[in-house]
Structures are given as C-alpha cells and as structure tokens.
Structure 1
C-alpha cells in the first residue's frame, strides 16, 4: 500500500467530462477544472490579502486542488440530478464519503491517512479558505457556462448554471474578493456580444439586485 493509487487517480480525472449528458462546444475535464479552481482561488486569496486578511495558503491550495478528487469514484453527476432533492444530494454525498474513506484505508499509508482525510473530504466549510473555495468553484462554472452561452449553445442548462453561479457567489458578498469580482471582473466578462444578450443581462441584473 503506497500513494500509487492516489497518483493514478489523477489520470482518471483527465477522463471525466464536466456536465455529462449535455451538448457542448468545448469539453472540460474534472482535472482541468481542479487546476482552474486552484488558480482562481489564488486570485481571490490575493484580493483578500490586499484587503488586510490573512490567508492560510497551504490550506487554500489543498482545498482547491483536491476539492473534486473524489469524483474519480462516482463521476461528475449532472447538476440538475445532483440537486433534484436534498435527500438525493445527501445520499450521493454519503456514498462518496464512504468510498473515499474506504480508498484512504486501503490505499493510503497509515502515516498519511489523516492528511488525506483532511484533503479529500468536503472543503467548502465556514473557514476563510473554505469560502474562497466555494466562490472559486462557482466562478469557474460561471466562465465555463458563459463560454457555451456566447457560442449560442441551445442547451438551456448553461444559462441556468450561470444564474445559479451568480446567486451562489453573491451569497459570499461579505468577502472583499467577491465585492472586487462583481465590481472589476464580472463587467469585463459581460462586454462580449452574443445573441440574446439584452434579455440575458436583464435576468442577471435582477439576480444581482435581489
């Protein structure tokens, strides 16, 4: 028993596509998503520090890099399915946690097991780093879905993902990084022209005003 299986699992993440079952112009993998989330979390962490807030960078990077590692066990479940009901979401989380715990017990050397329990279990907690992860995860989903929207993807799920991402990010408005995101970054993203832009921006303005 060594760390071989953990490293092999990184290759599995390169083969798991995001938003499975929906037509998309650009495929994104869980591995690519994890890298982007870590990079976005780094940007958000920088903004927090510029505003005088101390960031535990080791914890932030651990949370961001590993936040979707356990999808190697159950794959990336369609968002509408995953959140169809609180009960279903809870069942999926229980299965994921049990498989993760079994993986750690069987494949991770005993001296590293507590480390990997910290890294592989839910990272979106009430800590500063957990909140940054939650925002970074949705920022990436927002950009990912927007890429399909501007290409006139007919699947309505991408606009739904975008709106849900904006709502989730907005819930962390107490964070300086979120205030900065909506003031300085978000407007730049929306400058791109695309079909149906006026109606879409009206919906987004309503969400931001709630």
Structure 2
C-alpha cells in the first residue's frame, strides 16, 4: 500500500487544469478540491440525515474521498479534452490498478460508479458537492480578479436539476447572488 500512498501524493501536486486553461496561474491542486468536496459532503450528509433522509454518511465520505483518486494517474483532464476519449473508462482502469493492493478494489470501484452514474443518494450527494465546490472555487477566483470563468457556472443548471436542490437550493442561489453582486459591484 505504500506505493499507493506515494502515488496519491500526485494529487497534492497536480493542478486543476480547467482553471489553468482559463488563466488562473497557480490553480488549486486536485487534493485541495477533493478535500473541500469531502467536507461539503460531510456537512450536507449530516444535514440530510437531520431532515430525515436515509443516508449512509460513511459511504458518502468514502465516495467523496475516492471520486478523484484516478486523477493521480490520469491527471485532471479538462472538459474540452474529454470529448476525444472516455475519461470514466480510463479512471476506472486506473482505479482498478491503483486500488488492487487494498484487496477492496471491487467495493471501491462500485462506490466510484455510484458517484459517476448517481446511482444512490450518496453518489448523488457527492456529485452535488463536487459541482458546488467547483462553483465556490470559481466564485473565489472571480473575487480575486480572474475572468473568463463563465463556462464553469453552467454547473448551476445541473445543481438546480438535482433532486438535492430542494434541500440545498439556498446554498446554490446564495452563491449565484454573491457572484451577481460581485459583477455589479
């Protein structure tokens, strides 16, 4: 497992390339994004639980922690490049190879699939948290003066379409309002 742990260190060094391509000179590393996704997942899962929604918080956190692991090997491939190949198939292959040392790669791959295909409330929650985190980061970069990030805000529509929006719409709309105020101000 030591090799796996060392390879996971790549996530601390690899930048989120979508930001790089939009002119952010030193964008967040993948690990920073993954960390905040996990924290958002924790707090939103606990909130869902308090509202009576049946959710396995541990499972949701596992999915959140696993959702970008394949990028330690594949890097963060920006959306425009993903048109040319199947990124998910590549990530599954990378995950299978990387996680084979754990003896639980089947379980972990199943969790990754729940995230990618939004097959469970936990998978849907992590997808929601992933998109919300990206929007928070976009807002922070815009607040710091970076522009040309409008394409990232298309994720707002995906969040609004999510069944979780009925619980967390105020977060999404609050962020949209902050952005609008920033651009007016």
TM-score, normalised to structure 1, is 0.75
User: Could you say which residue in structure 2 is the equivalent of 1:166?
Assistant: 156
Paired residues of 2:92 and 2:109 also in contact (CA < 8 A): no
User: Could you say which residue in structure 2 is the equivalent of 1:137?
Assistant: 130
User: Could you say which residue in structure 2 is the equivalent of 1:197?
Assistant: 184
TM-score, normalised to structure 2, is 0.84
User: Could you say which residue in structure 1 is the equivalent of 2:2?
Assistant: 4
Paired residues of 1:67 and 1:122 also in contact (CA < 8 A): no
Q: How do 1:82-97 and structure 2 match up within 5 A?
A: 82=82, 85=83, 88-89=84-85, 91-97=86-92
Q: Which runs of 4+ in 1 moved over 6 A?
A: none
Aligned with residue 127 of structure 1, among 110, 120, 125: 120
Q: Secondary structure at the match of 2:115?
A: coil
- How far did 1:68 drift? 0.3
Q: Whose helix fraction is larger, Structure 1's or Structure 2's?
A: 2
Structure number with greater Rg is 1
Q: Secondary structure at the match of 2:33?
A: helix
Distance 1:182 1:117 in 2: 30
Paired residues of 1:149 and 1:159 also in contact (CA < 8 A): no
Distance 1:92 1:49 in 2: 33
Structure 1 residues 65 and 102, CA, compared in 2 at 3 Å: closer, same or farther? closer
Paired residues of 2:64 and 2:126 also in contact (CA < 8 A): yes
User: Could you say which residue in structure 2 is the equivalent of 1:64?
Assistant: 64
Query: Does residue 13 of structure 2 align to residue 15 of structure 1?
Result: yes
Structure 2, unaligned runs of 5 or more: none
Structure 1, unaligned runs of 5 or more: 199-210
Q: Secondary structure at the match of 1:152?
A: coil
- How far did 1:114 drift? 3.0
Distance 1:189 1:170 in 2: 12
Q: Secondary structure at the match of 1:190?
A: helix
Paired residues of 1:70 and 1:120 also in contact (CA < 8 A): no
Query: Does residue 52 of structure 2 align to residue 52 of structure 1?
Result: yes
